[in-house]
A and B are shown apart, each in its own frame.
Chain A
Amino acid sequence: MKNQKRWGLFFFLSPVLLWLFLLIVLPHIDLLAMSFRIENDDGQMVWSLSNYLNFFEEPIYWLTFVRTAIFSILVTFLTFVIALPVAFYITKVVAPKFQGFLLVLLLLPFWVSELVRVYGWMILLRESGVINHFLIKLGLLNQPIEMLYKDATMILGLVYTSMLFMVVPITSVLDSLDNSLIEAAYDLGANMWTILFKIIIPHATPGIVSGSIVVFMLTLGNYLTPNLMGGKNSLWFTEQIYNQFIASFNWNQGSAFGFLLLVLSSIVVWLGLKLTRQNLRKVVQ
């Protein structure tokens, strides 16, 4: 009987294990091995660290990474600033019967693919686009200005794409916040900002941190939005990995970049957890 139970467990677990091992662990081992090999001048493959050294020696590579990381942190912060009031409104202000409806409204844009959403923004923002058209009709502008292909538009697009992943975890932690705490604070003469910083944010920290991790990782690994909306200056680190694999045929360099992205982004997340004094187990719950 006991034996059979164990067999059953193994049977149901095996797809997950196979999935993890065959599709995630094995290819990564292959990539890791590849990242330590280079082709020498005779065309032979030899073991070497130079793929990793290249990253640190060539300024455009690590500058691109720093740029990508800084922009991702900025996007995460902006998403948080926008998402907190939205989440608070949904959980505390609006009548409970509308809560579900509002969450569905947030979800709605995610029913179409990211590509379609980005093209939607491009239609709105381009020089001959909808927004310029109305600004000229209203007499606010004399001639159209180009709003696309700028860092600001790229951030706008990235924030828009990641909103949902911040709002949902914050709503779920705010749900457990007792309204009477806020009322008591008002009775004791606290103002809005005190309440925000002393009650709401401390209570919501686990949700904020888990939302931030998701948004940060999604933004860092995004390829489409920076590429399409950022225009000519927007070299994103993922694009550099793509270029190494596809344009330069240098898979070894590309895999080294991939692992550097993995390691460096893990360090940023770890630092973030340390700074907010959260631990991963509490946050992912």
Chain B
Amino acid sequence: MMKRFFVIAFIISAFLAVNISSALAAETLRLITWSGYTPKVLLDKFEKETGIKVMPTNSSNEEMIAKLRATRGAGFDLAQPSQDRISSVQEKYNLYQPIDLSKVKTDQIIPSMLEAVKKNTMVNGKPHAVPFCWGSSGLVINRKFARDAQDYTDILNKKYAGRISYRLKRPTLLALAFAMGDDPFAKYGDINAYRALMEKVGQAMIEGKALVKNYWTNGDALLQSMRTEEVYLAMAWDKGGWKLHAENPEIDFFAPKSGALGWIDTFAIPAKSENVEGAYKWINFILRPENAAVFTNLDTTANCSKGANKFVDPAISGNFERSFPPAAIENIKWYPPVPAKLEEIEGKILDKVKAAK
């Protein structure tokens, strides 16, 4: 008697669990993205328009790849990796499905950016992503204390000892390599030359380690230490610098002499996405000029939507004009696709820097 009861109860609960989860999946879009990319107003508007509820997970490039790799491309319906981190992992682990450009309203996207992303994410003759927004890494400087900082090399400058902060991540290595007069992107194809260059940069970072206050890992924590004037000079993203500029005009984002490092974040559809139609709907929705402008006004990150500029707040577009005179735009170093194996070299050097005394 008891036994039958248990069996029935078990079967019923198993059925319920399956039904409930599939019912939820039908109306949701699981989006793995960056913080700030999914403003609440837009999520609400999208749900009203299409009935699809977006469930964002904030992440980073490395975590996105690790998460999708663990499930072989399942668990999320849409992802937003940077364009340079797609083709090599796609070749190796097959995380994404090709993007069907006939389902994307491509006339909403700035053509040059669409072409660049298509070319850089081309695997087996098919593009795997479309652009969403772009920005750059450079220097955030408090001019009250660091009047004449010019280039990435200043993060190793004794003049600012104890007031410097940067990330222990690959952009820092690349930036310092550029500032030392080399071109790391040109050496992407030659592993040995690249390793030698990175070792040189790593050595310089170890020598300059005493000057660093801390290696920041969290954007908000960095903004806090710049706000309290504990840090004068940081290598960081443009949007952080612009946020601080709105609070304190002495602080601003500067494109360094050897060039800001430009990235483009994209939309790519994971291989086992359960809501491909919803994914295309979200892509077309958020790239609509008036929606993309809402995102840019809130996050200060520039978007890739054609015609969004006329909806962007003058204060926000002013940021861009202030930090990027025409020569600085010409000088932006856009990340080319990262070949496999480079991350391992970089990882080891960064570990060495962190472990050094």
Q: A: which residues have CB within 8 A of B?
A: 4, 7-8, 11, 43, 58, 60, 63-64, 126-128, 146, 148-149, 227-228, 231-233, 235, 239-240, 243-251
Contacts and interface: CB of A to CB of B under 8 A. Distances in A.
The dominant DSSP class at the B interface is: helix
B2 interface: yes
Nearest to B88: A249
Most chain-A Cβ atoms within 10 A of its Cβ — which of B92, B212, B217, B230? B230
Contact of B2 (A4, A249, A251): A4
Ordered nearest first, which 5 A-B pairs have the shortest CB separation? A248-B347, A128-B228, A246-B62, A235-B355, A235-B354
Contacts of A149: 213-214
B110 to A, nearest CB: 31
A273 B343 CA distance: 41
Interface of B: 2-3, 6, 62-63, 65-66, 69, 89, 92, 162, 169, 209, 212-215, 217, 225, 228-230, 340, 343-344, 346-348, 350-352, 354-355, 357
Contacts of A64: 351, 355
A128 B62 contact: no
Contacts, number: 75
A65 to B, nearest CB: 11
Contacts of B344: 248-250
B228 A127 contact: yes
A249 B347 CA distance: 9
Contacts of B65: 249
A126 B351 CA distance: 25
A247 B351 CA distance: 10
Given A63-B355, A127-B228, A249-B66, A231 B214 contact: yes
Nearest to B170: A247
A233 B355 CA distance: 6
Contacts of B213: 146, 149, 232
7 contacts: A63-B355, A127-B228, A148-B214, A244-B347, A246-B66, A249-B66, A249-B89
A126 B230 contact: yes
A249 B21 CA distance: 31
Contacts of A126: 225, 228, 230
B36 to A, nearest CB: 20
A231 B217 CA distance: 10
Given A11-B6, A248-B343, A249-B66, A60 B352 contact: yes
